[in-house]
Each structure stands twice: as C-alpha cells, then as structure tokens.
Amino acid sequence: MSKQTVWTIIGGGNGGQSMAGHLAIMGYRVRLYDIFQATVDAINNQGGIHVDGVVQGFGRLEFATTDINKAIKGADVLVVVAPAINHKEIAESCMPSLSDGQIIIIHPGATCGAFEFKKVLDDGGSQIDCLIAETNSLIYACRSTKPGYASILGIKQDLKIATLPASGNTRVLEVVREAFPQIVGAKNVLETSLENANAVMHPAPTILNTSMIESDHEWLYYWEGVTPTIGDFVVDLDRERLAIGKAYGVQLESIMSFYKKAYQVEASNLSETVRKNPAYEKIKGQKDLRTRYLLEDVPMGLIPMIELGKMRGVDVSRMETIAKLAEFLLNEDFHKDGRTLKNLGISDMKPDEFDHFIETGTRETNKQKEFV
Amino acid sequence: MSKQTVWTIIGGGNGGQSMAGHLAIMGYRVRLYDIFQATVDAINNQGGIHVDGVVQGFGRLEFATTDINKAIKGADVLVVVAPAINHKEIAESCMPSLSDGQIIIIHPGATCGAFEFKKVLDDGGSQIDCLIAETNSLIYACRSTKPGYASILGIKQDLKIATLPASGNTRVLEVVREAFPQIVGAKNVLETSLENANAVMHPAPTILNTSMIESDHEWLYYWEGVTPTIGDFVVDLDRERLAIGKAYGVQLESIMSFYKKAYQVEASNLSETVRKNPAYEKIKGQKDLRTRYLLEDVPMGLIPMIELGKMRGVDVSRMETIAKLAEFLLNEDFHKDGRTLKNLGISDMKPDEFDHFIETGTRETNKQKEFV
C-alpha cells in the first residue's frame, strides 16, 4: 500500500480529530465519522482539520460524515478512536458495511477490545474476512478545543499493536508503520490487552481518593492522589498484571519500568516516581466518582484482566477487591455489560483452544478435533 | 451483692480510670491494674482518681497495682477495659489467678471478645467456674489527661451486655445494673458482638479516606470523612451486619436508627446524619493509616462478623472487600491473630452445637451426642 491507503477514523473527539488531521497532513486519503452533526459540519465547512503542536498544518479530509456506511465503503483501514464502553455499539454499526480485506484498528482497545469486536461480527453471522487489531494506548497526547481544531502535544514511542488473529500481525504492522513508525508489534492481543495501564493506574487510586473527590479540595490526580500507600498498592496490582502476562507467555513492562523508559523518571516508589514526572504536573483529580476512570476502566480493563488471570490460576485478589468495591460504591453491575470472558464468548475454551483462537481467529469445534 | 462488691478494673487508660473512679465514688471497693508503673504510682500516691464532668469527686481505690494476681484475688468482678488486640494476652495473664464465681466483663468486647477469653481458659485447661460477659461499647465518653485524673463527658444509655454462657445473663445483669442502671441485657454474646458499631463505622471510611489521611489536609473524621458515597456504602455494610443478626436470631439496631435514638439526629442519608451530630464536631481524622480503626476494628470486628455471616450463608461481600483491602494496604495478615472462627475454636461447630455452646458454654462431644 502507499499513500493511496484510505483511512476512516471512527470518532471525532480529541484523539480522532488529531489522527485524522495528522494522517491527512501526511498525504493519506482520510474520512472521519462522528455521531454529532455539528462536529461533522464544522469539519466539512472548512474542508478538514487544523493541527498544531508537534504536528502543524491543515489536514484536508475527503469528507466527514454521520453516515457510517459512507465512511466505511472503500476504506482500507478503519480506526476506532472512542471510549471502550462504546466499542460494542460501534462494531454493531460497522458490521453491515464491512468488506473483505479491511483492517480495523481499535485505538486503544482497552482490554480485550479486539475480542469484543470479533464477537459482535461472529454473533452477527458476518462472513467478512477482515483483521481486527488493537493498540494498548492512544498514540497521542492531544486535545481538541473545538471541532476542526486539534493540538498534538506529543506522539508516544513504542505503542504496541496486535491483531486478532495473530497471523495477521505482519500485514497490519506493515500498513500501520508506514504512517506511524512509532508503533511496534506485540505478540498477540493478550499482550496489548494486558498492557492497558489505565486498568492499574485509574480505578484503585480513584477509589482510595473517594473522600478527596467528594470534598471541597481541588487536587492533582497523580501528584497528590498517588500517596505512598496508594502507590505501593498500585505496584502490587501491577504485579498481578505481570503475573497474568507470564501465565499467557507474553512479556509485559512493569509500570515502574514504563515511567523510567517513557518519562526518564525513577524513584524508590511509585508515589515519588509520578511526582517527579512533569507531564503529570497539571493533571487534576476528578470531582465526581462517576468518570471513565471507574465506568470504563473497571468493566473494560480490570474485569477482563481478572477473568483472564483466573482462567490460568493467577492470584488476582487485589484486582478483584478493587473491581468489587467499584461496583459497590457506584451501585453498578460491571459484569453485566463488561468484558467478562462469557460476554466475550471465550469462557468455555480450554487453554489449547484459546491459544488456537488467538493465533487463527477460528474455533476448533469438537467434531473437527475428533478427526485431527 | 451490695456495695461490698469488689471490682477490679484491668487497664488504666481513659476508660479504665473513669470506671475505677466512678465506681469508687459510688462507694464500691475498687482496684486498678495497669502494666505501667508510672500510672499505678501516680494513683497510689494520691490514693485514688479525681473525676470531673458529669460525675464529680475523688474515687478512693483499695490500690492500683502492676501485679495481676494481687489485682484479681478476692475480686468479685473483673472489668477488662483495654484495646481488643490485647484481650487475648490479658486473658492469659488473668487465668492463673481466677477463682470460682468471678465475673469477667470485657468492656467493650469488640466482636467475639467473650469467645476469645473463654478459648484462652479452655486451651489452658482452666476448671474455674466463671462467667465471661461483654458489652457492645464503652459506657463512657471520657478522657484522661494524666494518670489519676479522668473526665467523664457522658454516660451512654442502653449499653448492651451479654454473658457466655447466656445462662449467666441474669446474674451478671443483676450485679452490673446495681452500679450501672444504664446497662441492659442482650440475648447472648452474638448480639453484643454484632452491635459493635466500630466494625462498620471505622474501617470502610478510613480506607476510603486513604489519600486524605496521607495528604497535608487536616480533616474531621465524621463531618468530612463520611461523604455521601462513603455514608451510603456504610449503610450497605450495616445491612450485611443486620442480616447476620437475623441469621442468628438476634435483633440488632441499624446505624441510622442508633443515631436517631442516641443523638436525636436524623437525615435522609448517613453522611448528612453524622454532619448533624454535634458530638462529632471536633473528632479529627487520623493522619496515619495504621491506627486502631484498621488494626483493631478489622481483625477484632469485621473478620469475626464476616466469618459468622458466612457460617450461616449470609452475603457479607462488602465486609469482605473492606477487610481484604485493609490487609493489602497495610501488608498485614489479619486472619493470623484475628478473631477467625478457627482461632476462636468454633469453626467446626454445627448450628445446633453452636447454639448449645452459646447457651451453656459447653461443647457436646460426638460421643455424648451418640448417647443422647
């Protein structure tokens, strides 16, 4: 593929507009889909997106649209840039318009985003031959002050991507790295799913800041919210995450190592480490418990991690404690619509079936196995 | 018995000195035991304890001592007024000096204080025929600024007492109510144990104030620490406590009803209720996670409640979540020395055996049962 690759960005928030503008500036053919007519109109009226920051210029789009079918038809790559709690609905909207050979990238997938997208297609009886990839994080530090304008403050290095099935990794990586050489390949979607740092960095500190959130005090999420005890507990949670990775044969990076590598900060504990990170200086703490830090990062982060861990006998009791407490405090049943293995359709797979599914995207039936 | 009753107060802290002084002012013969020589000397030098507040006067003691045997010999009633984490050690110290007919009152017993005391005696092979009672709270709101001086700010109404075995309730109540008509009889030690309000009011708010505790902010435990979400969660925890009571046939008072009755305050939720309580106006929040609110109220409060609940199939998942999180945050194994049913020696009792034990203090052996 060349710059003739047609990219469709699904989601016109900060990340989606930054990516659409950036790709268009690079010279790609880009469409943008959003549910808000006002966003779409603002972009179409000016013909594209103004980008500033570490990328500067005007990215001229083919079009923005609220018509998902129009957005998808003829596109080579679809990039979903939306909250994880919307992924399922987006998959359902996309399904009727998909065609063979398309690449879908969930950016980021939170935990098990690719599994969930594939489950929607399988349940819908889709016969389309597509590749579903996910990244472990958003590639940009960015913001959008109004429709049609995006500020890219930074582009992350070593963002991970993996494909379901993993046999498609090479093809997806080739297409994606042409535009984003910062992206590297992960072994499989378990690696990207377990590298979702939000699952350890958001729910536990949020819960342990409950009174601060509901107080009159303004506070800084990392600099003040990650106290010594909270930081140590997050590191313990992170050890559970690393142990899940080990059980599935994927090598993950510890949160402490991540900070050292990504921000060149290092200290004896996590609380001091985040306080040394100038990128966190102005990140305010929330003033309401009901934010994505719980509503998304528990059902789409901690819960699938917990269930993956339990499937291989890993001790995930700290993660479980936090997920349960989040459900109790918010009076929510995050297991109902969250990414449980049952909801993902993978709860009854034996270890070798699961490995096979990740590698090939197909499920061996018992009958097939009998004849092997 | 008359004012000739000899009371030994075990523990020379706020509560112990207040009680010793108060009883002596009433005209009883009183001894006080403490481990600190300085406390004992200060009291002996002036011959007793100065009391002010709602009780005023000088309570002349028989003696204060660091010699547990001297304190106990010849006493009719021993009152243990000490942190629950010291109860076991106190029982071990008392055992060699106990004699038939003595009444031991654990004041308060936290949860399962009487079971624990009895377990020490049974394990030690004690053949002494004594009654072990417990109250559900301390009868005083009090403080002691220095040894020999106590301020009694208030005396609680309707404090509950129960005896192990429950067959001793009448006798204990008769002795105790002569001095303290504010005390009422509970059905059995499960009722007093489950009426330990600290188990619901301390650990959960403490944990959900972790960042506040480790911040630079001074805060008020009830007025600021019990935010709307935290208050609602405590009420949910309290429902688990009430359900445990129901499973054992004891009628408990809800925390909301308690505030209405004890402080004449009432609001639509717990957060508002405690903020309306002027008695809580000046109660500061702790600035260290390692206080009795977790170190005592989890192993000696929540954990025995959880295990009693599970023994009868009650959902105690909120209590469990808080107890586990306390262990994780403090890196403590509260089950090791805490009041688990195993540590209390009652884990293997069937429901009818347990009921029999509570009523009679004796355990039917399998052999005895075969011949029944």
Q: What is the pLDDT along chain B (372 residues), one digit of tens a residue?
A: 358 899 999 999 999 999 999 999 999 999 999 999 999 999 999 999 999 999 999 999 999 999 999 999 999 999 999 999 999 999 999 999 999 999 999 999 999 999 999 999 999 999 999 999 999 999 999 988 899 999 999 999 999 999 999 999 999 999 999 999 999 999 999 999 999 999 999 999 999 999 999 999 999 999 999 999 999 999 999 999 999 999 999 999 999 999 988 888 889 999 999 999 988 988 999 999 999 999 999 999 999 999 999 999 999 999 999 999 999 999 999 999 999 999 999 999 999 999 999 999 998 754 455 444
**Active-site residue (options: A202, A238, A315, A355):** A202
Helix (H) or strand (E) holding A110: none
Cβ separation B324–A329 shorter than 8 A: no
Q: Is the pLDDT of residue A337 over 50?
A: yes
Burial A97-116 (b: 16+ CB within 10 A, else e): bbeeebbbbbbbbbbbbbbb
B56 touches A at CB < 8 Å: no
Cis bond leading into B108, ω under 30°?
yes
pLDDT the model gives residue A266? 86
Helix (H) or strand (E) holding A47: none
Distance from CA of B211 to the nearest CA of A (A): 5
C-beta separation of B308 from B351 below 8 A = no
Chain A residues touching B335 at Cβ < 8 A: none
C-beta separation of B153 from B141 below 8 A = yes
Give per-residue pLDDT as tens, A227-263. Answer: 999 999 999 999 999 999 999 999 999 999 999 888 8
Distance from CA of B208 to the nearest CA of A (A): 5
Q: Which two tokens stand for residue B33?
A: 């035991």
Q: How many CB atoms sit inside 10 A of residue A18's CB? A: 29
B328 touches A at CB < 8 Å: yes
d(CA A191, CA A244): 10
C-beta separation of B203 from B297 below 8 A = yes
For testing the chain B interface, which of A200, A209, A210 should be mutated: the one with the most B CBs within 10 Å? A210
Instruction: Report the SS3 class of residue B220.
Output: strand
The DSSP call for residue A293 is H
Can you state the angle between helices B317-330 and A317-330, rounded to 10 degrees?
130
Told to judge if A216 belongs to the known catalytic residues of this protein, a careful annotator would answer: no
Of residues A228, A134, A221, the one with CA closest to residue A185: A134
Chain A residues touching B214 at Cβ < 8 A: 227-230
Q: Which of B212, B228, B236 is closest, CB to CB, to A212?
A: B212
Helix (H) or strand (E) holding A36: none
Burial B141-176 (b: 16+ CB within 10 A, else e): bbbbeebbbbbbeebbeebbbbbbbbebbeebbebb
Helix (H) or strand (E) holding B154: strand B149-155
Residue B151 CB partners (closer than 8 Å, separation 6+): B18, B51, B52, B53, B142, B143, B144, B145
Hey, which residues does B103 pair with through a beta bridge?
B77, B131
Sign of the Cα pseudo-torsion (A100, A103, A108, A109, in order):
positive
Pairing of strands B131-135, B159-164: antiparallel
Q: Cα-flanking dihedrals φ and ψ of residue B102, to 5°?
A: -70, 150
C-beta separation of B81 from B11 below 8 A = yes
Q: Which two tokens stand for residue A315?
A: 């001790």
Taking CA atoms, A277 is separated from A219, A262, B150, B318, in Å, by 16, 10, 51, 36
Q: Cα-flanking dihedrals φ and ψ of residue B207, to 5°?
A: -65, -40
Nearest 5 degrees, angle CA B165-CA B171-CA B174? 135
* Concatenated DSSP letters of B43-98: HHHHTEEEEEESS-EEEE-SEEES-HHHHHTT-SEEEE-S-GGGHHHHHHHHGGG-
pLDDT the model gives residue A150? 96
Chain A residues touching B229 at Cβ < 8 A: 210, 214, 289, 329
Distance from the first to the final alpha carbon of chain A = 38
C-beta separation of A209 from A218 below 8 A = no
Q: Which two tokens stand for residue B25?
A: 């002012």
Q: Chains A, B: CB contacts under 8 A, how many?
A: 78
**Active-site residue (options: B76, B297, B335, B337):** B297
A170 touches B at CB < 8 Å: no
pTM of the model: 0.94
Q: Which of A219, A224, A233 is closest, CB to CB, to B329?
A: A233
Cβ separation B211–A211 shorter than 8 A: yes
Cβ separation B229–A214 shorter than 8 A: yes
Chain A residues touching B228 at Cβ < 8 A: 214
Chain A residues touching B208 at Cβ < 8 A: 207-208, 210-211, 329
A225 touches B at CB < 8 Å: yes
Distance from CA of A158 to the nearest CA of B (A): 32
Q: Is the pLDDT of residue A372 over 50?
A: no
Told to judge if B50 belongs to the known catalytic residues of this protein, a careful annotator would answer: no
B291 touches A at CB < 8 Å: no
